[in-house]
Each structure stands twice: as structure tokens, then as C-alpha cells.
């Protein structure tokens, strides 16, 4: 879930919601709603801002990993390299 990945990235930095919101340039309530899954449609600008602030690729926020209970190998790619 996107919210869980956002929360994990924030906690990995050791940031509170308030501090993360300052770095992401959104209100803490908005970030909280994203992390809790109450807001499931963030804008691309917010996702990019989160990724930059947390130092992770946007794709890491959007795709599930083995830590999320899923394998990324099942993610379909537009131009697979063979």
C-alpha cells in the first residue's frame, strides 16, 4: 500500500510527520491522510516531492516490494529488456 511505503520512508529518515511535511512542502494533515490510506490519489507533484525529500525513487513508492508481501517481478514493464 502506498501509505505504508510513504510511512516507512519517512520513519527511515527518523522524521516526524510535521518535519516530513516541511520537507515535502505539504500540510502534515495531508501527509497523514496519505500515510493512513484516507487519501489514495496523491498528485504526481506530491509523490515526486515525497520521493525527493525521502531520497527514494518514485517507483519505490508506487510499486510493492517483497517487504510489502509481494514480489516486484510481477510488475509489468512497458519496455522490458530481454
Q: Is the pLDDT of residue 17 over 60?
A: yes
Summarize pLDDT for 31-51 with one digit per residue, the tens: 999 999 999 899 999 999 999
Give the model's confidence band at 26: pLDDT under 50 very low, under 70 low, under 90 confident, else very high. very high
Task: Count CB-CB contacts under 10 A for residue 54.
Answer: 22
Full-model pTM = 0.76
Percent of the chain beyond pLDDT 90?
Answer: 72
All structural domains of the chain, each given as residue ranges with its CATH number in brackets, are 2-64 (1.10.260.40)
Q: Is the pLDDT of residue 77 over 80?
A: no
Amino acid at each position: 500500500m502506498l501509505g505504508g511505503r510513504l510511512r516507512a520512508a519517512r520513519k527511515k529518515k527518523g522524521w516526524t510527520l510535521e518535519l516530513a511535511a516541511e520537507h515535502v512542502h505539504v500540510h502534515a494533515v495531508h501527509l497523514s491522510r496519505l500515510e493512513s490510506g484516507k487519501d489514495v490519489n496523491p498528485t504526481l507533484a506530491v509523490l515526486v516531492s515525497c520521493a525527493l525529500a525521502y531520497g527514494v525513487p518514485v517507483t519505490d513508492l508506487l510499486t510493492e516490494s517483497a517487504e510489502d508481501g509481494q514480489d516486484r517481478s510481477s510488475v509489468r514493464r512497458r519496455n522490458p529488456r530481454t
